[in-house]
Amino acid sequence: MFKTSFQIPISNALRKGGEVLSSYFGKVTNIKVKENLSSVVSEADVESEKVIIDLITKDFPDHNIISEESGYNYKGSSMTWIVDPLDGTSNFVAGLPWFGVLIAVMKDFVPIAAGAFLPAGKHLYYAEQSQKSSLNGRIIRVADTKSLKDALVAYSLDYSDDPNETLKETSILAKLVNNARNIRATNCLLDFCYTADGRMGAAVNYHEKIWDIAAPWLIVKLAGGMVTDIDGKELDFTVSMENYKKDFPVIASNGLIHDKLISLMRYDLTSITGKS
C-alpha cells in the first residue's frame, strides 16, 4: 500500500475548487456545448480545474493528471490524479445547487484515495485505502435496506444520438420505477455521495467517465457498498492516452440490493421493438 496520506492535499484542492465554483454560481455567462446537448462546459469548470491542477502540480510534480477539460497529462508515473473540477455543470449553470468537485488518486490504475466536495452545503466526503469513508470527518455507512422496494434509486438519463439507446434506458427506468420505492436523480456526484452515506439505496449511470466515477467508486466501497458495471463485473480503471475518455456504465449500491438491480436491468431490445 502507498504509505503517504493524501487527505490534506485532496481536501485542500477540493475546497479551493469549490471556492471558485461558489464565486461563479448564479453568474455564469459563457456556456459551450461539448460532445452533445447533455455535455456543457462553463468558465467555472475551466477556472476550477486550473486552480486544482496548479495545487497538484506544485505538490506532486511527477504525478500524471487526468482532468475533464485538460485531458491526460502523462509523465510516466505509477501515480495518477483524476480531476473533475465541476461535476454537474448543467445543474450549475441552471442555478441548481446539485454540483461539486471530484478528485481521486490512483496507484497503478487503482484508486487509493478520493474526495468529493459539495460547495452548496460545504460537505466534504473522503475515502482512503484501509480507512472508512467519512463526511466532514464523520464515518459514513451505506443504507442497510435489504429490499429494493424500500430503497430510493438514483437513475441518470442523458441525451443520446441513438434512439434505440434512449429506448433501452427508458425501458430499464420503467422496471426500476415498478420495483423501487421511488426514483430520484441529480445526474451528478450527489447520487453517489448519497448512496455512500445511506440516503440513497443505489445510483445508476450508463455514461460515466473516469473523472466522474473514480472518486465515488472508492467512497461508496469504503462506506460498505458495491460499485460494478451493469453486468456485475469490477470496474477496470486501466487507461491510456487513447482510451481515457471511455464510458463506464455503473451501478453503485449498498450491496444488499445489487443483484436485484442487475437482474432488473437485463435488457432485450426485441421485446420492445419487435425487431431482431
pLDDT digits (tens, 9 = 90+) for 51-83: 999 999 999 999 999 998 899 999 999 999 999
Angle at 94 between CA 92 and CA 99, to 5 degrees: 20
Q: Which of 8, 154, 153, 135 is nearest to 88 (CA)?
A: 154
Q: Which residues contact 192 (CB under 8 A, 6 or more apart)?
A: 116, 203, 213, 216, 219, 220, 252
From-to residues of CATH 3.40.190.80 in the chain: 148-273
In CATH, 148-273 is 3.40.190.80 = yes
pLDDT-based confidence at residue 272 (cuts at 50, 70, 90) = very low
Cα separation of 84 and 45, whole Å?
A: 8
Q: Which of 225, 79, 87 is nearest to 151 (CA)?
A: 225
Element (H, E) at 9: helix 7-24
Cα separation of 103 and 150, whole Å?
A: 31
Burial category of 47 from C-beta neighbours within 10 Å (exposed 0-12, middle 13-18, buried 19 and up): middle
Q: Report the SS3 class of residue 152.
A: strand
pLDDT of residue 97: 96
From-to residues of CATH 3.30.540.10 in the chain: 7-139
pLDDT of residue 3: 58
How confident is the model over 33-54, as a mean pLDDT? 77
CATH T-level topology, domain 7-139 = Fructose-1,6-Bisphosphatase; Chain A, domain 1 (3.30.540)
Q: Which of 202, 208, 206 is nearest to 165 (CA)?
A: 206
Q: What is the pLDDT of residues 117-174, one digit of tens each?
A: 999 999 999 999 999 999 999 999 999 999 999 999 999 988 888 888 888 889 999 9
pLDDT of residue 159: 80
Q: Which residues contact 229 (CB under 8 A, 6 or more apart)?
A: 235, 248, 249, 250, 251
Cα separation of 143 and 19, whole Å?
A: 31
Residue 129 grid coordinates: 485505502
Phi and psi, residue 155, nearest 5°? -130, 120
**Predicted structure pTM score:** 0.92
Cα separation of 82 and 208, whole Å?
A: 13
